[in-house]
Structure 1
Amino acid sequence: MKRITFAAALLLAAMPCAAIAAEPTAPALVAPAFAVPTSAEGPGFVLRPLGPDLVKIDFVAYMSSVEHLQQTFTRSTEWPHAGISDADALLDMQAEAGRFARRESFAYSVLTPDGKRERGCIYVAPSPVAGYDAVVRIWVTKAEYDAGFDKALEAWAHTWIAAKWPFKNVAWPGRDIPWATWDALTAKKGA
């Protein structure tokens, strides 16, 4: 894949994102009448939907913690990895913005209050396992994890999801549900 500069990627961002947002591919996660949160504030952070405007600070955050995220968030070497290009990062942000616009899933950047640094992300998505209305996954950078922010963000996110979202039963893999249990549940669905 040809690498493009970050500045060039940003210039190309608006049109592809609109095209991605216009092409539905999965059912909406929430009803049309539900007002999806587009921002939130917590102690020492703000939430903003992931999209092309946040590609650079998102990239810096996850690339600072590749090994940590492979062990705590994905348990895989597929994301993140050292070979992610600016173009790959931009495509990912466009896809996240498209899914958000189509109400299929909702990815949020957890930013410092000034919006200049990403501390982590929160993802609200459909559950692949029957019995759950949604899946919520969280990651924080290694530095934030070491500083204890992971547990604080998790506690805040539980309260936020319960208060602001229409779900009755939410799966929290790697948190309320151990990874081995979640992996077994998702493997049964695939069988």
Structure 2
Amino acid sequence: MPGRLTLLAAARSSSLLDVRFDDDRPLDAAGWEEVRRMIPSLSHLAGAELRYCSPSVRCRETGDVLGLGPLAQPALIDCDMGRWRGRTLSEVTVSEPRAVSVWLADPRSAPHGGESLLAFIQRIGGWLDTRPVGEGGWAVAVTEPSIVRAALCYVLKAPPHAYWNINAAPLAALTLTGQAGGWQLKLL
């Protein structure tokens, strides 16, 4: 029986109209309410032998509300957005329209001085491939939505541009089965 890894996108920390790059804000009131409301349907995640989270405040808070007591994983930090950190896409588009166009078109580019999309996807894939999920074991990680998207691209061996076509809503879950280098998407 293959191992299993469930990635859960954290509850929201800000209005979707105010999403900022590399946002480390805590859960907002709606996020707290959303995760509390989902406890009955997500409480089974506490049965995982290994429980991780991205190091952001909202990921830790989401995991704690769900009773996971997750261990923060530095490798699960959101994509390094360099000088764009803390800004919205709209703000950056106004001040650096050409840089945004290059960034959206070329997954190897990092005009913000941080991490390219391709490097981010590879980093998340590297983390997936080093998880000690033994045969029949189960791990859970509460992560940023961007990490769920990157993991899906990595597992499906999709081109990096596919990242922009994946919507990982707050508290969306992605379950993978398999092992290092051989993960498969499990639809529930």
TM-score, normalising length from structure 2? 0.29
Larger RCO (CA within 8 A; separation ≥ 6): 2
TM-score, length of structure 1 as denominator length: 0.29
